[in-house]
Each structure stands twice: as structure tokens, then as C-alpha cells.
Structure 1
């Protein structure tokens, strides 16, 4: 069983590829949260995986909430692994996730990171097409290596340093306090397709008179709404107006 969270497709693709390779069910944490489904049966010999992106060197708030409410029964000692997709560095996100899962009675045996194309358009411009192809090629090789390790119930090949954990302790609270929605808006290119409302994992967007309105003060800042808007209409203040968008090639709207 593989639980995943994804905004623009990196972690979803990773989870689905691994799930297909090891014949494990893949479950969307955001959908389960909306459905208030946090209890799952894990059969004998079944593995438990968590795949999610790293935000500010920690897990997205939806992942943190899902893990904190998760109840597993049926297999007292499952092989548990965590895969973190990131732009370059996952910081101390492994230790942060490890503590949450331990509180739920799950001991994680392996942590892995996969550098993938960064999507944080609110902070900086995204990579060009040539760089994306190179990054995705290396990510494919990395996923294949991780699959082999999971099959044999391998140990971690990623362990955060004291500095990594200090980085998370310093930067991650900024994300938790922030995540404001007031700068989001749709410009005149909006085609009223409703996609942003449909894909928002926090249910923070509602269509009003054919335009998206952010109805919550905070969201996850997964930037799915910006990157996946077919008209490139959604912006975050002035910062994103001239920046490239990114969606994993596996995502077809």
C-alpha cells in the first residue's frame, strides 16, 4: 500500500510507477483526507510506503495531518518506507516524518529522496525544457534503483545530518505559519474551466461567476493551481506573471 500526495505530478508519478512495479495499491492522501478515510487494513507481507514532496524542508501540511491520523491494522510489523521528492535537498524532512509515524506505531525502515523538477514558481523561475528532460531522466534511474531496494526490504540510503535537521527546524515553521492565499488571483485569460477548483487538495478554491476565488486564508501552497492552469491565468501577486510553469509529463488534464 502506497500513500502519496502530489501537486504537479512528481510524487504521484513516482508512487504509481512503484505501485505498478511491486503490485501495491496506490492511495491519494488528499482524497482520503477529504473523505475522512484514515483507517486501512494492511495484509501480511504488504509494505507501507509514503511518497510526498518536500516543502521548506518538511512535509506538506496535508501529509502531516494524514500521517497523524493514520490507523493501520492487520499487520503488526510491516516494512515501512518514505520517499521524498524535492528540488535538491530534503533537509530534515525524514526525521520529521519519522517522529509522526512513530507516534502512530509505525517504525520506518527506509528513507529515500528523489531530486525532481522543482515547481515552486512563487519563489523563482522554473527550469527550462532541456534541464527538465535531464532531471527527469536521472529521476527515472533513481526510481528504478529505489524499486529494487523496496523489493528486498532494503534500508535507507538517505539520512539527514544535524545541519539538515537544523535547516528544517528553522525554515519549516515559516511554511506552517504562512501558506497565505490572499495573493492568488486569476487574470483576464481565465477560461472558467473549473480545473483549479477540482484539483485543489485543500478545497481552498471556489468558482464564483466563472472565476476562481480563494475562500480559505491558508492552503497547502502546492502550486497546482498555478502550474496546471491551461491558460496560465492564475498568478501569485506579480511574482509569477512571467515565469515558466511545470507539470510532470505524466499528468494529462
Structure 2
């Protein structure tokens, strides 16, 4: 059983690729969160995985909340692993999340991270097509290696250092306290397709008179609404207007 969260497809692809090699089902944390389904039963010795992107060297808030509410039965001696997708570094997210899960009876046996194309368009311009192809090619190789290690119940190939954990403890709180929605808007190119409302993991977007309106003060900042808009109409202030968008090739729009 593999739980995943994904905004623009990186982590979903990673979860599905690993799941297919392990013959394990994948479960969308965002959908489970929406359905208020937090209780699951696993078979004895069944592997349990968590796959998610790293934001500000920590887990997306929806992942953190899902984990705090998660209840799993029948998991005696289960091999529990975590795969984090990131643009550069996962910081001390491994230790941060392991503490959350430990409080709920799950001991992480292995941590893995994989570099994938960064999608944080609100902070900077995204990579060009050539760089994306190179990054995705290396990610494929990395995911295969991770899956093979999981199959034999391998151990972490890298654990966070004290400096990594300091990064998380220093930077991550800015994300948790931030995530403001004030700067989101749709420009004149909006075609009222309703996709942004449909894909928002926390229902922060509602269509009003055919236009998206952000009805929550905070969201996950997964940037799915910006990157997946088919006409690039959604912006975050003036910063994103001329920047490239990114969606994993397995997702499309």
C-alpha cells in the first residue's frame, strides 16, 4: 500500500512506478483527505509506503495532516518506507516525518529521495525542456534503483545530516505559517474550464460567475492550479506571468 500526494504529477508518477514494480496499490492522500478516510487495513508483512514532494525542506501541510490522522491496522512487522521528490534537497524532512509516524505506531525502515523537475513557479522560473529531459531521465534510473531496494526491504541510502535538519527547523515554519492565497488570480485568458477548482487538493478554489475565486486564506501551495491551467491564465501576483510552467509528462494538463 502506497500513499502519495502530488500537485503536478512528479510524486504521483513516482508512486505509480514503484507501485507497479511492487504490485502494490497506490492511494491519493488528497482524495482520502477530502473523503475523510484515514483508516486502512493492511495484510501482515505488507509494505507501506509514503511518496510526496518536499516543500521548504518539509512535507506539504496536507501530508502532515493526513499522517497525524492516519490509522493503520494489521501492520505488525510491516516494512515502511518513504520516498520524497524534490528539486534540490529534501533537507531534514525524513526525520521530521518519521517523528509524526512514530507517534502513530509506524516506524520508517527506509528513506529515499529523488530529484525531479522543480515546479515552484512562485519562487523562480522553471527549467527549460532540455534540462527537464535530463532530470526526468535520471529520475527514471533513480526510481528503478529505489524500487529494487524496496523489494528486498533495503535500508536508507542517505539520511539527513544535522545541517539538513537545521534547514528544516529554520525554513519549514515559514511555509506552514505562510501559504497565503491573496496573490492568486486568473487573468483575461481564463476559459472557465473549472479544472483549477477540480484539482485543488483542499477546495481553496470556487468558480464564481465562471471565474476562479480563492475562498480560503491559506492553501497547500502545490501550484497545481498555476502549472496545470491549459491557457496559463492563473497567476501569483506579477511574478509568474512570464515564467515557464511544468507538469509531469505522465499527467499532461
TM range (shorter): over 0.9
Q: How far apart in 2 are the matches of 1:147 and 1:89? A: 20
**What are the superposed Cα offsets for residues 97-151 of structure 1, whole Å, 9 maximum, x if unpaired?**
0000000000000000000000000000000000000000000000000010000
State the distance in 1 between where 2:103 and 2:82 align. 15
Whole-Å separation in 2 of the counterparts to 1:59 and 1:13: 18
Kept after mapping to 1: 8 A contact 2:45/2:76: no
Q: Supply the distance in 2 between the matched residues of 1:239 and 1:202 (Cα, whole angstroms).
A: 23
Q: Which runs of 4+ in 1 moved over 6 A?
A: none
1:252 deviates by: 3.3
SS of aligned partner of 1:109: strand
Structure 1 Cα separation of the partners of residues 217 and 248 of structure 2: 28
Tell me the equivalent position of 1:180.
180
- 1:75 deviation in Å? 2.3
Is 1:98 the counterpart of 2:98? The answer is: yes
Q: For 1:96 and 1:212, locate their aligned partners in 2 and report how far apart those are by CA, in whole Å.
A: 34
Q: How does 1:1-253 map onto structure 2 within 5 Å?
A: 1-253=1-253
Aligned partners of 1:245, 1:15: CA distance in 2, in Å?
Answer: 22
Once residues 58 and 117 of structure 1 are traced to their aligned partners in structure 2, the CA distance between those partners, rounded to angstroms, is: 17
Tell me the alpha carbon deviations over residues 58-116 of structure 1, each in whole angstroms, 9 at most, x when there is no partner: 00000000011110101212100000000010000000000000000000000000000
Alignment partners' CA distance in 1, 2:158 and 2:37: 30
TM-score, with length taken from structure 2: 0.99
| Structure 1 residue 202 displacement after superposition | 1.0
Q: Any gaps of 5 or more consecutive residues in structure 1?
A: none
Give distance in 1, aligned partners of 2:77 and 2:68: 18
Q: Cα RMSD between the aligned structures?
A: 0.6
Aligned counterparts of 1:101 and 1:44: Cα–Cα separation in 2: 18
Distance 2:248 2:142 in 1: 16
Distance 1:53 1:38 in 2: 20
SS in 1 for 2:108: coil
